[in-house]
Amino acid sequence: MDTVLAILTVFTQPQLLLLVALGTFAGIYIGAIPGLSVTMAVSILISFTFSWDVYPAISLMVGIYMGGVYGGSRTAILLNIPGSPSAIATAMDGYPMAQKGQAGQAIGVTTVMSFFGGLIGIVVLALAAPFVSAFALSFQPRDYMLLAILGILLVGSLSSGSLVKGIFAGAFGIAIGAVGRDPLTFAERFTFDLRLMEGGISFIAVMIGMFGVSEALQQLHNVDKRAVRQKIDKIIPSFSTIKTYLPLSLQTSSIGVIIGALPGTGGDIAALMAYDHAKRVTKNPEIPFGQGAMEGLVAPETANNAAVGGAFIPMMTLGIPGDAVTAIMIGALFIHGLNPGPMLMIDQPDMFWFIVGALLTANVFMLIFGLTGIKIFTKIVEMPRSIIIPLILLLSIVGAYAVNNAITDVYWMLGFGIFGYFMRHYGYPLGPVILGIILSRMLDDNWRRAIISEREDLGRFFEGILTSPLSLTLFVAVILIFVSQTPIWRAAKTRLLGKATS
């Protein structure tokens, strides 16, 4: 009974309800603008809400988080510029849909599916938090390494066209991610003794450049072309559409919750893995992936919103952040006199259930705000390109600067934007570059941790992999996925299937 009351706290106080709504609304727009990140918004809110009570402060933050994760898909679909890293996969099929005049439909499906994914994440948080966090804790450095390798194998899914060029782009991304002082030994890598390289290259700056600026440059080619008229009659997806994607979305939501709950991995990796999963399990998509497949929207959007609930799992049960945003929220709880940690659930269960309630409310508001503003939003794509292009450039510059308040990031962003433009021209996919940067640190750090722990002995390292069920499962998955992408396997498969039919 107390639990129910705590969940409903949000509804009993109109002020809290209003703050969640406000947060969600603001979050959608913060998330949609590349460079304005939820992490940034929440850290600003810590100072802003300093003198508030803890419930209103948390309400606002939860709203912004939920809205922000969803908001990233908006610009990804409409402009091919992911508003946040977790929307990179969304752009791959969302933008082709917008180009066909189906932006309204794409946003509609995205919104409903984000709601669904968010709901799954919250339900798992509410019902199974202790189990999931125990599972997440059992991940050893070698498991994170295997997970990163699994991620890198996604290059195949992310490169339309030449796989070789995709691998090149991925490797390039891994190298970019390694620039700067190595966080484990502080040794300089690829810095060429330049002070500005010491801090590394901001991943967000690269992303904004590669997607935002290079897209703007690309659009210059057809500056005189008339924009595609958008159909806005079928915004809310029909029940049968939702039912079709229900099995897939359950799978991708599970991926989202687990990846979100793992400390050190968040919605970005979850969305990319879910996209890859969708591509693998969908045998005959109505429309091929990369050209506007609905599955390509459903998978990443359910996963990244499910990762929100997931990220709260280790935060609420152990005081360990599941991602950057929850790390800041832990700081906020400290400032408001709470002691986030394993005892929080025991000492103050109300706080846990209040956050569950706030997340649920934010999820509902996300659905409402998401579905109501679509008509105005789709007008963005119908604007003349001579207005859109300068607008994209402006947003990109502001966004890149805002990440770290550093003008250097703007230069990186512009540089990578121009580089990305040429990459597009020569048929190099951009997705794998970003994938490489995201996974670079995770792969490198955890490989080193794993091998150092085994006294730099490969024999002991593999013994460790083979004796742990979790590591073994991941290892087998890596091998199977790798082999399934080789020509030998495909040849063997055709032969086997051929025999079966003949």
Judged by the rule CB under 8 A, the positions of this chain that interact with other proteins are 39, 42-43, 46-47, 50-51, 137-141, 180-181, 183-186, 195, 198-200, 263-264, 314, 318-321, 324, 327-331, 334-335, 337, 339-343, 346, 404-406, 445, 448-449, 452-453, 455
To the nearest whole angstrom, how small is the minimum distance from the Cβ of residue 429 to other proteins? 29
Residue closer to other proteins, measured from CB, 340 or 436? 340
Of 45, 276, 42, the closest CA to residue 158 belongs to 276
What are the angstrom distances between the C-alpha of 323 and each of 114, 149, 387, 412, 446?
Answer: 19, 20, 36, 25, 17
Residue closer to other proteins, measured from CB, 207 or 360? 207
Dig out the tokens for 259 from the structure: 């990846």
To the nearest whole angstrom, how small is the minimum distance from the Cβ of residue 349 to other proteins? 14
The helix or strand, by DSSP H or E, that contains position 181, with its residue range, turns out to be strand 180-181
Residue closer to other proteins, measured from CB, 186 or 426? 186
Residue closer to other proteins, measured from CB, 168 or 352? 352
The radius of gyration of the chain from alpha carbons, rounded to an integer in Å, stands at 22
To the nearest whole angstrom, how small is the minimum distance from the Cβ of residue 148 to other proteins? 15
Residue closer to other proteins, measured from CB, 195 or 499? 195
What are the angstrom distances between the C-alpha of 133 and each of 137, 195, 311, 489?
Answer: 6, 40, 10, 37
Residues 6+ positions from 142 with CB-CB distance below 8 Å: 446, 450, 461, 464, 465, 468, 471
Of 177, 196, 202, 267, the closest CA to residue 35 belongs to 202
- CB-based burial label for 195 (10 Å; 0-12, 13-18, 19+): exposed
Residue closer to other proteins, measured from CB, 50 or 131? 50
Residue closer to other proteins, measured from CB, 314 or 357? 314
To the nearest whole angstrom, how small is the minimum distance from the Cβ of residue 242 to other proteins? 37
To the nearest whole angstrom, how small is the minimum distance from the Cβ of residue 140 to other proteins? 5
To the nearest whole angstrom, how small is the minimum distance from the Cβ of residue 46 to other proteins? 5
Contact (Cβ atoms closer than 8 angstroms) between residue 359 and residue 129? no
To the nearest whole angstrom, how small is the minimum distance from the Cβ of residue 50 to other proteins? 5
